[in-house]
A and B are shown apart, each in its own frame.
Chain A
Amino acid sequence: MTEHVSPEKLTAKDFASDQEVRWCPGCGDYAILKCLQRTLPELGTRPENTVFVSGIGCSSRFPYYMATYGFHTIHGRAPSVATGLKLANPDLDIWVVTGDGDGLSIGGNHMLHTLRRNVDLNILLFNNEIYGLTKGQYSPTSHLGTRSPSSPFGSIERPVSPCSFALGSGARFVARTIDTDQKHMPTVFKRAKEHKGASFVEIFQNCIVFNDAVFGEFTNREAAADLQLHAVHGEPLLFGKEREKGLTLNRDKLALEVITVGQGGKTIDDVLVHDETNPILAQMLVNMAPPDFPVVLGVLFCQPAESFETSVTKQIAAIIKKKPGASLDRLMRQGRTWEVKA
């Protein structure tokens, strides 16, 4: 089907499987699916070279809806399956689709190690701060006090911040976007795909059934300008309706502060310029939260290094070069052998 079509001619349809999509009507997953199906052909992706690997949860149904290769694995283990797949065939373009429960609870360990190893995978973590598929229990990203079937009096666990976790794990690409932002999402996917190494993308995804509008405070249209900050490498960190507000570093407190340009003697020069190669800045940015701060979106950290499978392949190639023509027969006959004569 796809084999004789040149990349330019592929469309979203070439990436959509014939399977009926079974998420709840109004689920944020639809928007992400549509966006990827639309974006992948624009990036020159070939379906036969693309694999979607997922774990368990609502988001993990994703591979079934893509007309690419796909593997719906077991709970939390998608990064490990994807690592083995990448080692077997480093030419594949592999996307891992996971959620807050799948990726940070049961699969937290694999996420940590996959990021630190820097396996060339595009990891999309759909964060809806709830367990959807099992009917609404609080998750490791749920904010304190979340009422759910398993926390009827409010959750009493402090949540983990996915991007902060990724940075702490040594991820070399960390980005954030919102399911409903069809303009922003593709730019993040593009950067994630281009990045060689593990790309970690947190997507704020609305679970309309069990946790509706949990991100509403900063995702609704009216609040967006004042509570979303789109970070762009090399540009000042500005936000607000007139882009009048900016972030500055309070050097005494070693903390970020919001200032208004033109007020209190502050000028544009006081506003921090985004440097996506600075991990300390990234860590400060991801921890900002309303109401005092905006939520930061975009590519927050990007500092490429050799990817894991590249190092593995290189090391093997170097050893093969040093010891060419390996023979098991010869290996087994090395060392202390003796002959028994007839």
Chain B
Amino acid sequence: MNEMSPKGAQKHLDFEKLESVVIRFAGDSGDGMQLTGSQFTSSTALAGSDLATFPDFPAEIRAPVGTTFGVSAFQINFGSTRILTAGDDPDVLVAMNPAALMVSLGYLREGGLVVVDTGAFSKRNLQKAGYEDNPLEDDTLAKFQVIELDISSMTLEAVKEFGLSKKDALRSKNMWTLGLMLWMFGRERKPIIEWLKSKFAKKPEIANANIAALNAGHAFGETSEMSSGIKRYQIGPAKTEPGLYRTVTGSETMAWGLVAGAKLADLKLVFGSYPITPASPILHLLSNLKEFGVITFQAEDEIAAICSAIGASFGGALGVTSSSGPGIALKTEAIGLAITTELPLVIINSQRGGPSTGLPTKTEQSDLYQAVYGRNGEAPLPVLSTCSPGDCFFVAIEAVRLAVKYMTPVMLLTDGYIANAAEPWKLPEIDKIKPFPASFAKEKTGDGDFNPFQRDPATLARIWAKPGTPGLEHRIGGLEKSFETGHISYDDDNHQKMTEVRAAKIQGIENDIPEQKVALGNGKGELAVVGWGSTFGPIDQAVSRMRAKGFDVSHIHIRYLNPFPKNLEKLLKGYKKVMVPEMNMGQLSTLLKDRFLLEVIPLNKVSGQPFKIRDIMSAIQKNLKGRSS
């Protein structure tokens, strides 16, 4: 799919037609590669291609210029077919300096195209990148097609008239490059020009310089085509469902999903959070949605963040908190409090590489144990996961629904990849989602003190009484409560009973969630590849390709990780083998073994990079030796 091989390509006028292309933009942290990538993404989406992106940037905000650890990259896979991953191997690498080339060349497929800015290949930069000899002069790039351009000086030339300092003028290098790439892949400049104008509305000279650079890069492609050997490629629009689309990141959809969920539950949203990578964008986005009555509270730490959300829920609002693994660890005691006081709460974990500070900007799925098991005492809670940027919207709503209906904290697992990656998304019709308004106790029934632990016999959820309501005054807390009265109880039998009731309440959610479906393939057979979270894309594409080759393999994607869907055990036991690819050392594998005594084949990766489709394909092949029909 991602091959730009001449075999599959048809010559059409000056365009070469391709199904899909993977481009990796790589440069210094200060080169604006994330911006270049996201603008290229917008223009590509507007042209109707399906796409997936992978922003891959360092943890340092501004690492020393020109160093390999300061390289920031943005990968985009786009095409006229269904695109679910950011692509295994880039077809095109744009390297803005030697360090970017050093770091990224290994990703490029053999025969791929390298575009380099020779203006940045100074002796000093080569040294900083760790090159002893200039790779443009030896055989380092022998296996690739290379386009060497002095982008730096062409940019300086293009923006000369704006009288910027050299340093400022060079900042437009990325726009020059973007202009060239837009030309190569037949994408529009207009949306980007509009964006530059609005972004730099207050600094028109910067806007104009950037636009000039963008146009110059584009014009360069047009005029120097013959002599430079630069070709143009054509990627048609993808066949997608009709509707209105836009590109979204997982952070955006998560924020919108929370707003939608609160509205459907008819509750005020109080979001308590503390800045942490890669979860902060949700805090930023919600802080900017005050016209929806959203209250955001940037707390002094992770603990205060979750405690403020718990306090809000006690007050009859919807408390939500968000963090990443290390922050969730700090919130753990408070999660226990929300479990035992049975208050609704949504906890979002944008997972990153661990343990401890780990790899803040790299993605991992290693907080599943933490989510399911990581608390003191018997403390079960529902755990949900999202599989793509667009999916976050619906899972956020579902988390709110379960939290409110079952009076429980709900853990929602997403990850850094989903949070930052962009994909085209068909805009949902919110009116079509069934509301689930929260209900509050109105008046006291029975004699004596009001008992806040009266339960709905069907869901086992306790009654929710809002402070401010006369006659319903009550006290709750972290100490064990009497099943009968809700008052403090140290009685042994009562503790046994309360523990069982809390567990049964969570387990009962299995009756309220959809049955497990097969994402791709058959309901039984030789091999099921089971995943959760952001591995959806590579697993689905791998299974799809192996099925096309005749292998009996199916894809099962689990969204509800605790409790599991009721039919999951039976479904999985219908396959001879179950393989679980995960970006951890086997946490879902453990969970499946724990719950179903199921033998599973783990496939683990914790390199900070998403799975490649071929990693999974070869694992499928290995486990289905000779079973191709």
Contact bitstring A257-269, B, C-beta under 8 A = 1, else 0: 0000000000000
Q: Are A80 and B468 in contact (CB under 8 A)?
A: no
Q: Are A48 and B469 in contact (CB under 8 A)?
A: yes
Q: How far is the CA of A66 from the CA of B475 in the complex (A)?
A: 9
Q: Which residues of A contact B477 (CB under 8 A)?
A: 63-64, 70-73
Chain B nearest CB, measured from A192 CB (Å)? 19
Chain A nearest CB, measured from B605 CB (Å)? 34
Would you call A315 an interface residue if the criterion is a C-beta within 8 Å of the partner chain's C-beta atoms?
A: yes
Q: Are B303 and A87 in contact (CB under 8 A)?
A: no
Q: Are A87 and B295 in contact (CB under 8 A)?
A: yes
Would you call B8 an interface residue if the criterion is a C-beta within 8 Å of the partner chain's C-beta atoms?
A: no
Q: Which residues of B contact A320 (CB under 8 A)?
A: 290-291, 293
Would you call B272 an interface residue if the criterion is a C-beta within 8 Å of the partner chain's C-beta atoms?
A: yes
Given A80-B311, A337-B427, do A69 and B487 touch, yes or no (CB 8 Å)? no
Would you call A77 an interface residue if the criterion is a C-beta within 8 Å of the partner chain's C-beta atoms?
A: yes
Would you call B308 an interface residue if the criterion is a C-beta within 8 Å of the partner chain's C-beta atoms?
A: yes
Other contacts beyond A71-B477, A316-B294: 4, CB < 8 A: A19-B487, A52-B475, A73-B307, A320-B290
Q: How far is the CA of A112 from the CA of B304 in the complex (A)?
A: 12
Q: Could you say which of A71, A113, A315, A338 contacts B245, with CB atoms under 8 Å apart?
A: A338
Which of B260, B311, B471 neighbours the largest number of chain A CB atoms within 10 Å of its CB?
Answer: B311
Which chain B residues in 441-498 approach chain A with CB under 8 Å? Answer: 444, 448-449, 466-479, 487-488
Q: Are B488 and A64 in contact (CB under 8 A)?
A: yes
6 contacts between A and B (CB under 8 A): A66-B475, A68-B473, A80-B304, A80-B307, A328-B259, A340-B245
Which chain B residues in 306-352 approach chain A with CB under 8 Å? Answer: 307-317, 319, 333-334, 337, 341
User: Could you tell me which A residues sit within 8 Å of B by CB distance?
Assistant: 1-3, 17-19, 46-49, 51-53, 56, 63-64, 66-74, 77, 79-89, 91-92, 109-110, 112-113, 312, 315-316, 319-320, 322-324, 326, 328-329, 331-333, 335-342
Q: Are B300 and A109 in contact (CB under 8 A)?
A: yes
Which chain B residues in 217-268 approach chain A with CB under 8 Å? Answer: 240-247, 256, 259-260, 263, 268
Q: How far is the CA of A69 from the CA of B466 in the complex (A)?
A: 9
Would you call B46 an interface residue if the criterion is a C-beta within 8 Å of the partner chain's C-beta atoms?
A: yes
Q: Which residues of B contact A324 (CB under 8 A)?
A: 291
Q: How far is the CA of A69 from the CA of B241 in the complex (A)?
A: 52
Would you call B369 an interface residue if the criterion is a C-beta within 8 Å of the partner chain's C-beta atoms?
A: no
Q: Are B469 and A87 in contact (CB under 8 A)?
A: no
Which of A72, A84, A319 neighbours the largest number of chain B CB atoms within 10 Å of its CB?
Answer: A84
Interface size class of B (residues with CB under 8 A): 35 or more
Q: Are B299 and A80 in contact (CB under 8 A)?
A: yes
Q: How far is the CA of A46 from the CA of B293 in the complex (A)?
A: 28
Q: Which residues of A contact B444 (CB under 8 A)?
A: 1
Q: Are A312 and B427 in contact (CB under 8 A)?
A: no
Given A110-B304, A319-B290, A340-B241, do A72 and B475 touch, yes or no (CB 8 Å)? yes
Please name the residue on chain B nearest to A341 by beta carbon.
B242
Q: Are A340 and B272 in contact (CB under 8 A)?
A: no
Q: Are A332 and B256 in contact (CB under 8 A)?
A: yes
Q: Are A71 and B292 in contact (CB under 8 A)?
A: no
Q: Which residues of A contact B241 (CB under 8 A)?
A: 340
Q: Which residues of A contact B562 (CB under 8 A)?
A: none
Q: Are A335 and B246 in contact (CB under 8 A)?
A: yes
Q: How far is the CA of A311 from the CA of B234 in the complex (A)?
A: 54
Q: Are B311 and A71 in contact (CB under 8 A)?
A: yes
Given A77-B304, A110-B304, A328-B263, do A336 and B42 touch, yes or no (CB 8 Å)? yes
Q: Are A85 and B337 in contact (CB under 8 A)?
A: no
Chain B nearest CB, measured from A178 CB (Å)? 27
Q: How far is the CA of A194 from the CA of B470 in the complex (A)?
A: 22
Q: Are B191 and A336 in contact (CB under 8 A)?
A: yes
Q: Which residues of A contact B426 (CB under 8 A)?
A: 340
Which of A83, A92, A113, A312 neighbours the largest number of chain B CB atoms within 10 Å of its CB?
Answer: A83
Chain A nearest CB, measured from B372 CB (Å)? 22
Chain A nearest CB, measured from B254 CB (Å)? 13
Q: Which residues of B contact A319 (CB under 8 A)?
A: 290-291
Q: How far is the CA of A323 from the CA of B317 in the complex (A)?
A: 23
Q: Are B295 and A74 in contact (CB under 8 A)?
A: no
Q: How far is the CA of A324 from the CA of B268 in the complex (A)?
A: 17
Chain A nearest CB, measured from B50 CB (Å)? 10
Q: Which residues of A contact B295 (CB under 8 A)?
A: 87-88, 312, 316
Chain B nearest CB, measured from A252 CB (Å)? 41
Please name the residue on chain A nearest to B426 by beta carbon.
A340
Chain B nearest CB, measured from A183 CB (Å)? 29
Q: Could you say which of B290, B308, B337, B471 contacts A48, with CB atoms under 8 Å apart?
A: B471
Q: Could you say which of B46, B246, B475 contacts A71, with CB atoms under 8 Å apart?
A: B475
Q: Could you say which of A17, A77, A328 contacts B260, with CB atoms under 8 Å apart?
A: A328
Please name the residue on chain A nearest to B309 by beta carbon.
A84
Q: Are B303 and A3 in contact (CB under 8 A)?
A: no
Would you call B270 an interface residue if the criterion is a C-beta within 8 Å of the partner chain's C-beta atoms?
A: yes
Given A63-B477, A81-B307, do A316 and B293 touch, yes or no (CB 8 Å)? yes
Q: Which residues of B contact A337 (CB under 8 A)?
A: 244-246, 427
Which of A51, A86, A113 neighbours the largest number of chain B CB atoms within 10 Å of its CB?
Answer: A51
Would you call B61 an interface residue if the criterion is a C-beta within 8 Å of the partner chain's C-beta atoms?
A: no
Chain A nearest CB, measured from B1 CB (Å)? 21
Q: Which residues of A contact B429 (CB under 8 A)?
A: 329
Which chain B residues in 58-78 approach chain A with CB under 8 Å? Answer: none
Q: Are B314 and A315 in contact (CB under 8 A)?
A: no
Given A72-B477, A326-B292, do A84 and B319 touch, yes or no (CB 8 Å)? yes
Contact bitstring B579-596, A, C-beta under 8 A = 1, else 0: 000000000000000000
Please name the residue on chain A nearest to B311 by beta carbon.
A84
Please name the residue on chain B nearest to A85 by beta carbon.
B311
Q: Could you say which of B263, B290, B475 contacts A63, with CB atoms under 8 Å apart?
A: B475
Q: Are B475 and A83 in contact (CB under 8 A)?
A: no
Chain B nearest CB, measured from A288 CB (Å)? 31
Q: How far is the CA of A112 from the CA of B299 in the complex (A)?
A: 12
Would you call B48 an interface residue if the criterion is a C-beta within 8 Å of the partner chain's C-beta atoms?
A: yes
Would you call B391 an interface residue if the criterion is a C-beta within 8 Å of the partner chain's C-beta atoms?
A: no
Q: Could you say which of B256, B315, B334 contacts A85, with CB atoms under 8 Å apart?
A: B315
Q: Are B473 and A87 in contact (CB under 8 A)?
A: no
Chain B nearest CB, measured from A69 CB (Å)? 4
